[in-house]
Amino acid sequence: MTELSVNVNKIALLRNSRGQDAPNVIEFAKKFIDLGVRGITIHPRQDERHITRQDARDLGDLIRPLDGIELNIEGYPSEEFLQLIEEVKPAQTTLVPDAPDQLTSDHGFDFHSQAEFLKPILTRLKKTGTRVSVFLDPDVEQVQLAAKSEADRIELYTEEYAREFSTERHAEVHQHYHDAAVEANKLGLEVNGGHDLNLENLGKFVSIPGILEVSIGHALVIECLEQGMPAVIKQYLEICANAAR
């Protein structure tokens, strides 16, 4: 089974657009959890365009006492981000190599050039007790290098998977993700996935063995607007329950 972690960045984006507190991020996290979701993901970016650092603290307070529910905080490992993780102590921290002005996440770490940069950061984060995941392109060589680090997991960056899902390249691209996931598991790295996943492409993605968690936000919020939260979450949970082991 694969766990679904709902990314609530876009709930916060809508909230920030009016300078009031509607939609309330905490209330929507509770609604997702009440529908059976066992993970909430946020990405507090440096400019706080959507999720703020206070959201992270408030969600940490909400989720910390809830058995079996995990908070996953994603972000670039700036000093400010690392201090936030040390304060909130989420179940999982996912490091992404995003620049402050990036529109969205669009690449994984390069362990050829960034392994030394990440080494003290991973050591520091592990001391907080958080599980550490690193955002990675589906590249077997990168997986092999990441396996030599203190990372517990990788998160496969699935934008290409989604982009090519309905093209003639799908089988080739799917194989890349499959090979990266199998190599990671062989080397003792656990595997998550995320970015641009949706109800259409998720089933095939989680047919790859060993995908422990998918974090989904952008498309999920759009689908909730179209179909309603209960129907959408029901479909996602059914897909995740039928994932390859």
Ligand X SMILES: CC(=O)[C@@H](O)[C@H](O)COP(=O)(O)O
Ligand Y SMILES: NCC(=O)COP(=O)(O)O
What CA–CA distances, in Å, run from 60 to 6, 29, 84? 15, 11, 11
List the one residue from 77, 108, 138, 217 that touches ligand Y (CB under 6 A): 217
Contact between 194 and ligand X by CB under 6 A: the answer reads yes
List the one residue from 15, 153, 174, 195 that touches ligand Y (CB under 6 A): 195
The residues with which 95 forms a beta bridge, in sequence order, are: 75, 134
Which of ligand X, ligand Y, none binds 78 (CB below 5-8 Å, type-dependent)?
none
Contact between 7 and ligand X by CB under 6 A: the answer reads yes
Identify the CA nearest to 66 among candidates 43, 93, 37, 94. Answer: 37
Q: Taking CB under 6 A as the rule, which mask of x and - marks residues 122-161 in contact with ligand Y?
A: ---------------------------------x------
Q: Least separation, in Å, of the C-beta of 195 and ligand Y? A: 4
Residue 19 assigned ligand-binding role? no
Q: Which helix (H) or strand (E) holds 192?
A: strand 190-194
Phi (first) and psi of residue 123, to 5 degrees: -60, -45
Residues designated catalytic: 43, 74, 195
Contact between 133 and ligand X by CB under 6 A: the answer reads no
Q: Taking CB under 6 A as the rule, which mask of x and - marks residues 136-155 in contact with ligand X?
A: --------------------
Which of ligand X, ligand Y, none binds 216 (CB below 5-8 Å, type-dependent)?
ligand Y
**Exposure pattern of 134-164 as b/e (b: 16+ CB <10 Å)?**
bbbbbbeebbbbbbebbbbbbbbbbbbbbeb
d(CA 145, CA 115): 8
List the one residue from 96, 125, 173, 206 that touches ligand X (CB under 6 A): 96
List the one residue from 38, 43, 153, 176 that touches ligand X (CB under 6 A): 43
Q: Least separation, in Å, of the C-beta of 192 and ligand Y? A: 8
Residue 169 assigned ligand-binding role? no
Residues 6+ apart with CB under 8 A from 8: 25, 28, 29, 32, 40, 41, 42, 51, 217
**Exposure pattern of 205-229 as b/e (b: 16+ CB <10 Å)?**
bbebebbbbbbbbbbbbebbeeeeb
Q: Least separation, in Å, of the C-beta of 61 and ligand Y? A: 21
Residues lying near ligand Y in the complex (CB under 6 A): 7, 41, 74, 155, 194-197, 215-219
Binding site per annotation, positions: 7, 18, 45, 50, 104, 196, 217-218
Residues lying near ligand X in the complex (CB under 6 A): 7, 9, 43, 45, 74, 96, 104-105, 135, 194-195, 217
